[in-house]
Structure 1
Amino acid sequence: MLRLGIDIDGTVTAQDTFVPYLNESFQCAMTLEDMTEYDLTKLLNISHEEFWGWMNQHEPLIYKQAKPAKDAKEILDQMKHQHRLIYITARRQHHADITYEWFHKHHVHYDDIELVGGHHKLEAVQKHEIDVFFEDHHGNATMIAKEADIPVILFNSPYNQMPIDDRIIRVNNWQEASQWIKQYEQRLETAY
């Protein structure tokens, strides 16, 4: 049984979740493909203060209405029988109720959910003794892979195209992630 650490936004939820809200608020017509950096302040030409003001206002609704990523629920339903599913998210603590409600509404299984309130997930990864982490943020993936010395499955996106090291595995979807986990399990079994 593996202890799987799983990011929520852009990993379990669709990567383009924020796009319609940003387009409406900032009167633009961006697509996910336009988002070539995780930091949206440059793309929107606004300050960090303006961005976080916008986030504080819109986050609850966005998190509540987020759609699951394609095949995420089905794959996680399969994985829950063999592994522990521990969600470690950058969401802030005051979004705990909305987060749990979303999981219940979409019938997505969890063994634990930890809202760390920022992109420093390493402590939570170590606390939960995570074996493999699922992430969409390049910086998080790199830090976790290096510092925790575990494989990180990075969900491919226009905003995470920087180089990766050999502990990071790029996948395009949950089907590929599932396939990698199955092969990894087989390698571990053969090693014993």
Structure 2
Amino acid sequence: MKQVKEKRFGIDIDGTVTCPTSLVPFINDAFSLNITLQDITKYDLSEALNIPLDQMRAWFDETEPAIYASSPPADGAEYILSKWQQQFHLLFISARRKHLFEITETWFKEQKILYDHLELIGSHNKVAAAKRNGVDIFFEDKHDNAVMIAEELHIPVVLFNTPYNQDSIPDNVIRVDNWYEADAWVHQWIKTNEIGPITRP
């Protein structure tokens, strides 16, 4: 199975490996709101919640470490990623800033999620990092990132469905609802070596 083991998966962290609801309790507490994930229909929290950008940015800078330290994994992430680690190279590429590396590394250890590479690039433009690492498939929750990576690198991107990423997508961006569906699509893609509709469990 040498060919399978050589596959290199680029994987976003927040809202992809971590549950996209992770920051909702923090938002509700800080801004005296009572929202759910369904209320966040835009990736830009300031725009989605009608909170001034400077206020939202200051809050996020202050709260970011606590959010990352306490984020629960997304449904199925631990199980599927542990299974994949035996078969594929797992390269986690995140827009988190580099000073958050220790918190990020500790979270992965606590969740017992192994990886071959962990990179915090401090930017949402992940094309260069994905290209440099020779990624075969990318896993993402941010719509713009998914489209950019798919179109510029000509690789499939698995986009995890959230209320904030519902804009249209090109053919090589594949929507899934959870890690179990991502796993089903991956194995179909490897078997057929082409992008096809996901077979939902």
The two structures have a TM-score, normalised by structure 2, of 0.92
**Given residue 104 of structure 1, which amino acid in structure 2 is its aligned partner?**
K
Map of 2:15 onto structure 1: 10
Map of 1:104 onto structure 2: 109
CA RMSD of aligned residues (A): 1.0
Contact 1:3-1:84 within 8 A present in 2 as well: yes
1:181 aligns with 2:186: yes
Map of 2:197 onto structure 1: none
Equivalenced residues, count: 189
Per-residue deviation, 1:93: 0.4
**Given residue 160 of structure 1, which amino acid in structure 2 is its aligned partner?**
N
Contact 1:77-1:109 within 8 A present in 2 as well: yes
Secondary structure of 1:158's counterpart equals: coil
Per-residue deviation, 1:45: 2.1
Per-residue deviation, 1:135: 0.2
Map of 2:31 onto structure 1: 26
**Given residue 34 of structure 2, which amino acid in structure 1 is its aligned partner?**
A
Contact 1:26-1:44 within 8 A present in 2 as well: no
**Given residue 15 of structure 1, which amino acid in structure 2 is its aligned partner?**
P
Map of 1:169 onto structure 2: 174
Tell me how far apart the structure 1 counterparts of residues 11 and 122 of structure 2 sit (CA, whole Å).
15
Structure 1: stretches of 5+ with no match in the other structure: none
Tell me how far apart the structure 1 counterparts of residues 99 and 8 of structure 2 sit (CA, whole Å).
26
Residue identity (%): 46
Cα distance per residue 1:66-96 (max 9 Å; x no partner):
0001110100011111100000001000100
Tell me how far apart the structure 1 counterparts of residues 155 and 102 of structure 2 sit (CA, whole Å).
30
The two structures have a TM-score, normalised by structure 1, of 0.96
Matches within 5 A, 1:115-134: 115-134=120-139
- Out of 78, 84, 87, the position equivalent to 1:73 is 78
1:87 aligns with 2:92: yes
| Large movers: runs of 4+ above 3 Å | none
Cα distance per residue 1:148-189 (max 9 Å; x no partner):
110000000100000000010000000000000001111139
